[in-house]
Structure 1
Amino acid sequence: MALQPKATVVPFAVHAQGTGVAQTLTAAGDAGHVFHADAYPAFGGSDSAPSPLFYALGALTSCNQVTASLVAKDLGITLGAWTFDIQGDLDTAVLVGGAEGNANFDRVEVRASVETDASEEQFARLVAETERRCPVTQLFVRSGLEFVNDWSRAPLPVGS
């Protein structure tokens, strides 16, 4: 008897094609979103589109925002506007030079600010639960790199 997938599992699929280091990617689904990736000239590309590494960091910002919105709903708090600044420090010795070691980022730092009506205690819970529940954050955290997650809260504008 074949195992049935869990009802809560949602498949995410991407089709990609390209030449050299440039790709055109299409997300599966009704919308069929298309996006492009390339690399810096030092990595063999023409810098015609963001590097896959920028997409990885961008996925981290957006997944945090989506996850935090779900967590905020659970906590009964309101979130407003967001800002994120993320930096990933990559030693290119493995990627470019073929050195032995880990090709991953050495360190990733997330700085997030969000408008909210959350108390300090609720905000701390929001940050902790978002880190725990965000699939992309967990990809980074579980990879073993140094992960810094620094969030600050700002007041919601009057009338929000």
Structure 2
Amino acid sequence: MAIAPKESVVPFAVHSEGTGVFQTLTAGGEGGHVFTADAYPAFGGQDSAPSPLFYALGALTSCNQVTASLVAKDLGVSLGQWSFDIQGDLDTAVLVGGADGNANFDKVEVRATVETDATAEQFETLISETERRCPVTQLFQRSGLEFVNTWTRAELPATV
């Protein structure tokens, strides 16, 4: 039975402090995870930590894996090892040069490989439902950029 929207809202909060383009961020919640962000020197940083753009792409891989795990449970299939390659193509003319236009990525391409015992039909449902239910995928897709999402099914190794 599906949960109706707005019945189970969970707030996600982040606090950050920094100078220049360097930040120390603390995720809310019980873990209180601390992480840092910086930028390439061309963007005014020291490249001492991942840039926010890498975090955005990393969030896309992680959220897909979490969402697919939930979808797989609903489908009654098992998942094993994951591999993601994501590329975001960014024209920096707006960000760096102040040109008119959209500062968003022009294109983001997701290439995922996952070990699973899903049938071909179940695997297609896994992909489509993950894409539909993943909040970070939806952020990217609804932003209007070109979004390419290619998944490959690998055999789940037999357990001994």
Q: Does 1:71 align with 2:71?
A: yes
Paired position in structure 2 for 1:106? 106
Paired position in structure 2 for 1:15? 15
Aligned residue pairs, count: 156
Paired position in structure 2 for 1:122? 122
Equivalent position SS for 1:154 = strand
Paired position in structure 2 for 1:62? 62
**Deviation per residue, 1:64-89 (Å, 9 max, x gap):** 00000000000000000000000000
Q: Does 1:37 align with 2:37?
A: yes
Paired position in structure 2 for 1:156? 156
Structure 2: how far apart are the matches of 1:74 and 1:27?
29
Equivalent position SS for 2:9 = coil
Paired position in structure 2 for 1:89? 89
Shift of 1:133: 0.2
| 4+ runs deviating over 4 angstroms | none
Structure 2: how far apart are the matches of 1:25 and 1:35?
5
Paired position in structure 2 for 1:145? 145
- For normalisation by structure 2, the TM-score amounts to 0.96
Structure 1: how far apart are the matches of 2:7 and 2:32?
23
Structure 1: how far apart are the matches of 2:40 and 2:14?
23
Where does structure 1 lack aligned partners over 5 or more consecutive residues?
A: 1-5
Equivalent position SS for 1:88 = strand
Paired position in structure 2 for 1:50? 50
Shift of 1:30: 1.5
Q: What is the RMSD computed on CA atoms of the aligned residues?
A: 1.1
**Deviation per residue, 1:88-115 (Å, 9 max, x gap):** 0000000000000000000000000000
Equivalent position SS for 2:157 = coil
Identical aligned residues as a percent: 81
Shift of 1:7: 3.4
User: Which amino acid is the alignment partner of residue 8 of structure 1?
Assistant: S
Structure 2: how far apart are the matches of 1:61 and 1:153?
16
